[in-house]
């Protein structure tokens, strides 16, 4: 994540935390060195939902930021279970989302009970109700997750077909729509470079939008990214991605009217009365992928599914989980193991073809 993006995240974190109790603000401040800005912002959203629920339930009459510590200490296990039911049925959160929000609360309560202390060396909380609450048992093994992904990623020839669709075919099928055609003509090199880079590297959305021109090493075919936990890593990408990146770089400055010192790699067209150019946002990249995916006939495709597509292809061609784990930036090898299940279909088809060839020989 570049400094400008990080600055914007921190501004939003400060804005959100300003409406939270002082002890939550203290906790967030302590976590800045250990969590990414994106994770901290998610924590702020989760805490706002929790403390607003406390007010809605009438456990405290006043402002959210004034909720005292003793309110948390007096919460019963049943009341917390009611909050989780609120997340599930009122907000329609999935088990995974509820687990994430519950983990954020567990982390906060753990800090208040076991780490933070008053001037009298007493903990902020003597009783931690969140320690009594278990996370949801999400009953999905790796094969189940892999099967759910099936049909939502690119396979075989679809990698190049989708890339070609973004680069050329989308404009052709929209020739009669002047607005769509002109927009595609203006941005096709940029959009192709983005799609090609994800399919050729497996980079995350945040890593793609955070890239600066200086992060690309055109000699070594690597991109410098800041991964989860603020870890710097140089990630390899494909030769086709390099070709598409170079084509985009060739037209980037003139097409988007850039000052030579403007460093963000992927940019949006100038907007506003002053024609200000800016870094392409994560949501903009999501929307452009959604647009092309729908027109291509695979509306379930997303940035994350393109990342899965890369990983599936890599595992099928290389069968090297440790290297794939590093390429994707996974902290746990279990996450990477999903792709061994995703390739089962291809392996089955390969064996089937071997049998068919054997039968043909036998017939001869």
Catalytic residues: 204, 228, 304, 307, 330, 339
Where b means 16+ CB within 10 Å and e means fewer, 223-251 reads bebbbeeeeeeebbbbebbbebbebbeee
Q: Phi/psi class of residue 151: alpha, beta or left (left: φ > 0; alpha: ψ in -120 to 50)?
A: left
Which residue, 108, 118, 49, is CA-closest to 84? Answer: 49
Q: Please, are residues 99 and 136 in contact by the beta-carbon 8 Å criterion?
A: yes
List helix spans (H) across the chain. 3-17, 22-31, 37-56, 69-74, 77-85, 95-110, 142-149, 158-164, 170-173, 178-199, 205-209, 239-255, 282-296, 303-318, 321-328, 333-336, 338-342, 344-363
For tokens 């007010």, what's the residue? Answer: 55
Alpha-carbon gap, residue 107 to 14, rounded angstroms = 19
Q: Which helix (H) or strand (E) holds 225?
A: strand 222-227
Strand partners, 231: 227
Contact between 342 and 146 under an 8 Å Cβ cutoff? The reply is yes
Contact 99, 138 (CB under 8 A): yes
Q: Rounded CA gap, 252 and 233, in Å? A: 25
Task: Label residue 166 exposed, middle or buried (CB < 10 Å: 0-12, 13-18, 19+).
Answer: buried
Judged by DSSP in three states, 232 sits in: strand
């Amino acid at each position: 994540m570049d400094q400008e993006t990080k600055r914007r995240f921190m501004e939003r974190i400060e804005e959100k935390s300003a409406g939270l109790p002082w002890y939550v603000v203290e906790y967030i401040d302590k976590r800045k060195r250990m969590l990414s800005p994106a994770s901290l912002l998610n924590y702020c959203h989760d805490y706002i939902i929790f403390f607003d629920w406390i007010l809605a339930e009438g456990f405290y009459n006043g402002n959210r930021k004034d909720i005292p510590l003793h309110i948390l200490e007096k919460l019963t296990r049943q009341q917390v279970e009611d909050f989780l039911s609120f997340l599930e049925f009122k907000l329609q959160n999935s088990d995974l989302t509820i687990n994430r929000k519950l983990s954020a609360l567990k982390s906060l309560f753990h800090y208040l009970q076991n780490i933070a202390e008053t001037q009298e060396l007493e903990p902020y909380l003597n009783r931690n109700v969140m320690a009594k609450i278990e996370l949801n048992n999400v009953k999905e093994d790796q094969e189940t997750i892999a099967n759910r992904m099936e049909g939502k990623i690119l396979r075989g020839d679809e990698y190049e077909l989708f890339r070609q669709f973004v680069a050329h075919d989308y404009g052709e099928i929209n020739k009669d729509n002047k607005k769509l055609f002109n927009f595609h003509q203006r941005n096709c090199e940029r959009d192709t470079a983005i799609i090609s880079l994800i399919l050729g590297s497996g980079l995350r959305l945040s890593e793609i939008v955070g890239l600066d021109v200086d992060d690309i090493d055109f000699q070594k075919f690597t991109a410098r990214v800041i991964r989860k936990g603020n870890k710097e890593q140089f990630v390899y990408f494909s030769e086709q991605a390099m070709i598409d990146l170079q084509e985009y770089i060739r037209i980037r400055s003139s097409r988007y009217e850039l000052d030579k010192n403007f460093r963000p790699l992927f940019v949006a067209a100038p907007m506003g009365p002053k024609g200000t150019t800016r870094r392409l946002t994560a949501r903009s990249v999501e929307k452009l992928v959604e647009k092309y995916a729908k027109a291509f006939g695979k509306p379930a495709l997303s940035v994350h599914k393109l990342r899965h597509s890369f990983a599936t292809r890599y595992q099928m061609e290389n069968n090297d989980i440790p290297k794939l784990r590093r390429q994707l930036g996974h902290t746990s090898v279990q996450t990477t193991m999903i792709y061994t299940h995703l390739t089962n279909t291809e392996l089955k088809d390969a064996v089937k073809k071997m049998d068919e060839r054997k039968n043909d020989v036998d017939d001869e």
